[in-house]
A and B are shown apart, each in its own frame.
Chain A
């Protein structure tokens, strides 16, 4: 009996507890409440935007008087506040206000005549994308660090941008992150401080101006846009101006959703051209089937920012090796330039970079940049990994590109960045359209391809004491007169032998190490550099011939033959292949590394391809050449 009584007591306790527990989900929650109109609200754009911003908007055909810019009606907000536990940010763009309220209170709010609708929101963990960070390098760089710095900007065309005077001057970039400690003292930002080009700062988590706090992720991201270490730029837009916003906080995760939107509206008010957001929201808040470009609130906010004329550049995410695998929010937005990561040592997809497509089968990421970079740390510099750092490298590129034609709209810039990708028109869901380059943005007189000069051991026998230095990878007959010297530079054997190690390194180099100018003669220095993948757009010649045959049963026979010289770009050794359906959606994509000496081959020998379905298309990209073939019906 005693035992039975004890059981009853325990069960009663559990049952009561469960009832209490079930009531917990119905306590106060977070919502967005949308209003029907902004009738009667007055708005003066000249008091909201600065003069430079209004000029820019008019240049791009954007009306500063758009209703989206009008404030939310205060009487509506006050009425909602009468029922809610608390009221948060009031969004002009969405004509909505964030509230915390019980479900019972929400029923009353929803019944108000001026409430158009509402949606529940939820807590989310902070979504800062940073994979790994090395030990602080302090102020000293190793040779490897130097090489990485030069390559992370060189691959995006820094020498060409600089040659044309493009550094993002006149472009305003808003950076959303979790903190920017030491931006006021770090030497990497001395040029920004001296030029007073940190225009505005705001900590949305504390409603204060100071952003010199928080996680150093933002400091590193900012340096990948505009930092300078010694005389080496860490990013491309060293001439741009900046708006810094702290939007991430760990203690109140729901607020981050509000903060991103509030920061975007604040950035728009202050004339931001570009938003860099190295942030993302995945499984803590969403499911993969919600990555459709319209379900996540932050994605809708990012799309709204794009509708306001800003280019939103977002990291693709670091979920490539995890269960999530694909891009997060807001990288799924169709108006968001999602940036994936490539490995600096291989120039192809870095394993952690998130893949596409979106749930609605749109291509993502859009483009790629280095997923490992040198960046400013809270003190000194360090190597960092993550698509967090590919995104700001691309934001700097976008700033330089926009500087060439500020009348361009954001979406025209978006399209041209994609078209400048080294794979374009080929794409896949790991690289997008590939590594963008400056060639399509710069006039020809500004573009300066650099070629490596090498010395052939065979030449020593022919020329005796004098060795000709000729361009690496180019046949002498194909040299374009206005880009490189048509005549080889003569070099004495004695000098050549001293440089033997350097020459051998250049001959077989497939990485983008910066090399010093070598002076055979103080009056005639010879600069030695290497070609970057995007530079190949300068060359009109087809460097490969690809033949694709698909028989009636769907078997593909592919043969490839190289033309135009040896391997020139680090990506020349890769053959890209994809299969896509009639709607342009990929079913499979591969990257195959081809040995340098093998320049005539058949793909079916090495890669077992699946049978193509009818109307399925096979595309191959190799050395700048894309060929596609579709399997048609027998009768067609």
Chain B
């Protein structure tokens, strides 16, 4: 039984569907703005910002490989700002988060971890934040789009998180063993290097060379992780 105090509200709700909806509707409302003709913002405007993601793989000489090149990779998500100097030259910077994973080629080459006599897989991972500066040269006269260009510049970054992961099987007990060491004392947190790339609009082939070492020599076995990365950057057109 419904309380009488709710009857007025229920009555109104019951009537609502019967009230015809006859309101006028503004279906087009355009204000003519001079902003549409402005060159302040845009791919070839004074300022331009866009997001991107990229994928890199390490490259090193066969004789010096310490990681498996195609099982190792770096995935980045970043934001890029470009400032136009003229139709041919621009400069800018980008800020990105890097998710790096190196699959070691030979086990225990970095630092032995003797929980098991033998490991199946060994991986070093990092989450870095990086700032980069670039100078850009564009080719040819173009309209309001990024066009074809060559970039070069420097970057610097910091490793927020890193880990060393070992995967193996304890044959004695027939169990899988997975160990992870975080905040590695044998890995440099700060990094810097150079980068260069060739792009066409939102697609860029890019290379990075890290000048600083990854690993603190003397605290690890074997050589450093690969310094040269080559990859593809894909911009997202709307910001």
Contacts and interface: CB of A to CB of B under 8 A. Distances in A.
Q: Do A and B bind each other?
A: yes
A489 interface: no
Interface in B10-25: 22-25
Interface in A14-72: 14, 17-18, 21-22, 24-25, 29
Interface string A419-456: 00000000011100000000000000000000000000
A284 B152 CA distance: 24
B77 interface: no
Contacts of A597: 22
A594 B143 CA distance: 42
Given A17-B196, A359-B37, A595-B24, A587 B142 contact: no
B127 to A, nearest CB: 26
A591 B25 CA distance: 9
Contacts of B202: none
A21 B137 contact: yes
A436 B172 CA distance: 88
A614 B139 CA distance: 49
Contact of A349 (B25, B28, B145, B194): B28
A572 B139 CA distance: 53
A362 interface: no
Contact of A7 (B27, B141, B150, B211): B211
Interface in A585-636: 585-595, 597-598, 601, 606-607
Contact of B22 (A6, A282, A290, A598): A598
Contacts of A589: 28-30, 32
Interface string A561-585: 0000000000000110000000001
A6 B224 CA distance: 16
Contacts of B196: 14, 17
Contact of B26 (A17, A282, A590): A590
A288 B143 CA distance: 9
A121 to B, nearest CB: 7
A592 B140 contact: no
Majority DSSP secondary structure for residues of A touching B: mixed
B37 A592 contact: no
Nearest to A122: B141
B140 A25 contact: yes
A112 interface: no
Interface centre among B27, B38, B211 (most CB of A within 10 A): B27
A288 B32 contact: no
B219 interface: no
Nearest to B26: A592
B237 to A, nearest CB: 9
A120 B139 CA distance: 13
Given A284-B145, A326-B36, A29 B28 contact: no
Nearest to B153: A14
Contacts of A290: 143
B32 A25 contact: no
Contact of A429 (B29, B32, B152): B32
B138 A25 contact: yes
B42 A323 contact: yes
A124 to B, nearest CB: 8
B182 interface: no
Given A429-B32, A589-B30, A22 B24 contact: no
A588 B24 contact: no
Looking at B22, B36, B39, B88, the one whose CB has the most chain A CB atoms below 10 A away is B36
Interface string A176-207: 00000000000000000000000000000000
A79 interface: no
B170 to A, nearest CB: 42
A29 B87 CA distance: 15
A348 interface: yes
Contacts of B25: 592-593
A10 B210 CA distance: 11
Which of A21, A349, A588 is packed against the most chain B CB atoms within 10 Å?
A: A21
Nearest to A24: B139
A601 B25 CA distance: 13
A22 B137 contact: yes
B54 to A, nearest CB: 20
Contacts of B69: none
A630 B38 CA distance: 30
A560 to B, nearest CB: 11
A592 B85 CA distance: 45
Interface in B59-90: 88
B164 to A, nearest CB: 25
A359 B140 CA distance: 24
B152 A606 contact: no
Interface string B167-201: 00000000000000000000000000010100000
A17 B25 CA distance: 60
Nearest to A323: B42
B140 A122 contact: yes
Contact of B142 (A17, A284, A601): A284
A289 interface: yes
A285 B30 contact: no
Interface string A107-125: 0000000000000111110
A233 B143 CA distance: 40
Most buried by B among A11, A574, A590: A590
A508 interface: no
Contacts of A294: none
B209 interface: yes
A111 to B, nearest CB: 22
B37 A288 contact: yes
B31 interface: yes
Nearest to A606: B24
Given A14-B152, A24-B137, A288-B37, A590 B28 contact: yes
Interface of B: 22-32, 36-39, 42-44, 88, 135, 137-145, 150, 152, 194, 196, 209, 211, 238
20 contacts: A6-B211, A10-B194, A14-B152, A18-B135, A25-B137, A25-B138, A283-B43, A284-B145, A287-B144, A289-B38, A325-B36, A429-B32, A586-B32, A587-B31, A587-B32, A589-B30, A590-B30, A591-B29, A592-B25, A606-B23
Given A284-B143, A359-B37, 5 more contacts: A25-B140, A587-B32, A590-B30, A607-B24, A607-B26
- Nearest first, the 3 closest Cβ-Cβ pairs linking A and B are A122-B141, A591-B28, A283-B144
